[in-house]
Chains A and B, each alone.
Chain A
């Protein structure tokens, strides 16, 4: 079953913060985040494994709440280059198979 992402779209100004949420009804093993710019291939951001860890690089970080089967992606002090569609992918059970959410379209305006 596809994870649910929210919001579906968000518009913000450069320097503002944003949070994108991803929730699943299944017990998750891992959560993956990708960003896809228009007309380009999705690009890997990070993987979070069950255990409630938080990861980050630069001003983008994420958390994984194993109890709630939810993950959140945090974008701090957004830059124009952050614009794109963000997808969470979830993995559960023993299958090495990512099920992606429908995406969150993020637009950063100057």
Chain B
């Protein structure tokens, strides 16, 4: 069974640009969540999608957005990049048939560097 795939793995952007990151979940998983990981802040929840609907959103500015497609693949977009957006962006999928967050399967992440 293929794991969670994130593309691109590494990217470098300059301030003011925008970026789109992609995540393909494990086959059959309908929930996709995104996390930002930085040395200072740790793992911070961005948002979670289930069946193309955003169910939860973390405390990030509106520059961070996402969507999920009918095949459960998800993208997140960051517009007007700032230096502080440099981070590892992790995507996680789960089958999420429970009343609580189940086991998350993380991808290896997309490392974004903003210059």
Contacts and interface: CB of A to CB of B under 8 A. Distances in A.
Q: A and B from one assembly?
A: yes
Interface of A: 2, 29-30, 32, 34, 40-44, 47, 49, 87, 89, 91, 95-103
Interface stretch (B41-49, B60-68, B76-84): B41-49
B107 A41 contact: yes
A96 B101 contact: yes
Given A95-B56, A96-B55, A96-B56, A44 B104 contact: yes
Contact of B48 (A89, A96, A99): A96
Interface of B: 4, 33, 35, 41-45, 48, 55-56, 58, 90, 96, 100-109
A49 B98 CA distance: 12
A99 B100 contact: no
Given A44-B105, A97-B56, A87 B42 contact: yes
A41 B45 contact: no
Nearest to B47: A97
A42 B43 contact: yes
A97 B103 contact: no
B42 to A, nearest CB: 4
A98 B45 contact: yes
Nearest to B91: A41
B96 to A, nearest CB: 7
Contacts of A97: 45, 48, 56, 58, 101
A102 B38 CA distance: 10
Given A40-B108, A95-B56, A103 B101 contact: no
